[in-house]
Structure 1
């Protein structure tokens, strides 16, 4: 049951590359954004330094000592409200944050819990539909997405609203679907030993695919070898889209095929009849490639269940602040609902 309340909210989307923080005012249950800042996460030794800087920066709004609720979406697993970031040497603890910054209500959620929570507040303009499907009201949903890593969360209908179920599904085993993908798996095993989905579906994963194809394809023999950064996703997409580099084009095709198959696996595992939402930083940048058909072909290619896969709605989340929206919505809920 919701109550009418007023107060300031802090929300954050904290990843290995960037941290977005937002301060909002809750007025009669309506959220009004006051200010927002972006920080380069690797430049700080802990999250506390970022939050302190943000609160000092926003002190002119009178927010610092009046924060009633805070929710932070974190790129990493959370246990007992303590989080260790997957791609940063940070540890975040709910009680430590509440005590240090005198915030009565603090909650840490997985970054894809936040992305999943944003689905309820996204506008139609925030989505690109790849498959309309046949949505079932109250059916399970899933949000997934590649960026610095690969994240995912399911949404189940309980008590009149959707409840997010966090996961670390990006660290499931990579399952090749054809001979080329099987060779990719063997190539990556020699480098990493265990090969998770994230080794393929992420910024560094796209780099891995490109490097594999340079070594694997005979057509690469006549091309100048390209050296990429550890996360060379931007380089690969530039080579593919702007320069039509044949290896980069092939890398993008392979990335999209694996992405579609993996999205289909998560959708099938949760029987997500009310929607599959592809979020993360990469999907909006390659939306034209996702619309070409390779993604959905791989999504539906589930043998005897291919017909069922054609019934599931599939959308791409174009709003780059979906995680922040979800964290803000949870911070609002923490205040207005009787837990």
Structure 2
């Protein structure tokens, strides 16, 4: 099967000539940094013309950042604005702890005088971005049975834990958002029960995001250090801002506790990916992405990851047939927001 046919996304207006020559502003809004870019559409494709990055915390509202971008790049006309946001979107509105401001399609329309404004969940945007990826943006972890068509699952651990799906309608894949990262963590082994109890004292309710995120990496590390009494050899990490150092020490093999933390992290990603695959029956594929994945690719290519993924009471056949891909292109959210704005909406 040609690569471009693996993920045939539903873009109802991609072949509509009225959607040619449109000017689209796409944004990927994150807690630390926001990327804004200007695209034009032609022949069902997008061309990026301008791109700027801004520190999110320096703005009290998104519209101010957007107006600054429009001044910076001197865009004469804007037909659509499409914004990827790290939280649930309901009725054109998003409130999330990850941002210093709320986002509203209505307010953005009012402040910019641009009629067509769309908010889209960031992992849903990422799913749309898959339609703009190339074969070299993916790495195959497990071939599975690529002849089986079906739903696709996406799991993206990073600042938080993002999860989304793509529903197979018989012809196309239709992305949708979930908030599965906030579902409760489920321990399997006796040690994981200890880990759960450790986290319960901290959070009260223990979600998968408490385990598969920047903060989750530190949680795993400090559980091994403080509860299982694994000795730190060369490092002294005190909070979740140290997650990159934990990964670095674990990959280098310099610190046994960091090595063990990455092993547990890989197992937990496999476990939650397993659950998401079964819940969505995503025989069309599992895409693993997110900022953490870029740093620990080697761990996910290890046979231990796949062995943990396929463990099941009755559904090993589905799991074995599911292709698994790593997506490491960090532009997928931005590109997906642009594609959604250009061809997914009228």
Normalising by structure 1, we get a TM-score of: 0.92
Helix, strand or coil at the partner of 1:174: coil
Distance of 1:53 and 1:232 partners within structure 2: 33
Alpha-carbon deviation of 1:138?
Answer: 4.2
Distance of 1:17 and 1:293 partners within structure 2: 34
Aligned to 2:255: 245
Alignment size in residue pairs: 331
Helix, strand or coil at the partner of 1:100: helix
The answer on whether the counterparts of 2:85 and 2:120 sit within 8 Å (CA) in structure 1 is yes
The worse-fitting range, judged by mean Cα deviation, of 270-279 and 113-122 is 113-122
Q: Which segments of 5 or more consecutive residues in structure 1 lack a partner in the other structure?
A: none
Helix, strand or coil at the partner of 1:34: strand
Alpha-carbon deviation of 1:47?
Answer: 1.7
Helix, strand or coil at the partner of 2:237: coil
Helix, strand or coil at the partner of 1:139: coil
The 3 A distance-change label for structure 1 pair 205 and 80 is: same
Distance of 1:99 and 1:191 partners within structure 2: 42
Aligned to 2:27: 12
Distance of 1:27 and 1:307 partners within structure 2: 43
Helix, strand or coil at the partner of 1:303: coil
Aligned to 1:296: 306
The 3 A distance-change label for structure 1 pair 315 and 80 is: same
Aligned to 2:55: 40
Runs of 4+ in 1 over 6 A off after TM superposition: none
Aligned to 1:3: 16
Distance of 2:262 and 2:201 partners within structure 1: 22
Alpha-carbon deviation of 1:160?
Answer: 4.1
The answer on whether the counterparts of 1:70 and 1:107 sit within 8 Å (CA) in structure 2 is yes
Helix, strand or coil at the partner of 1:120: helix
Alpha-carbon deviation of 1:46?
Answer: 2.4
Aligned to 2:41: 26
Kindly indicate whether residue 168 of structure 2 is the aligned counterpart of residue 127 of structure 1: no
Kindly report the root-mean-square deviation, in angstroms, between the aligned alpha carbons of the 2 structures: 1.8
Distance of 1:158 and 1:305 partners within structure 2: 23
The answer on whether the counterparts of 1:115 and 1:279 sit within 8 Å (CA) in structure 2 is no
1:86-110 Cα deviation digits (max 9, x unpaired): 3123210011112211222111110
Q: For 1:1-339, what aligned pairs fall within 5 Å after superposition?
A: 2-4=15-17, 5-59=20-74, 63=75, 65-136=76-147, 138-158=149-169, 160-220=171-231, 223=233, 226-242=236-252, 244-334=254-344, 339=346
Q: Which segments of 5 or more consecutive residues in structure 2 lack a partner in the other structure?
A: 1-12
Normalising by structure 2, we get a TM-score of: 0.91
Helix, strand or coil at the partner of 2:230: helix
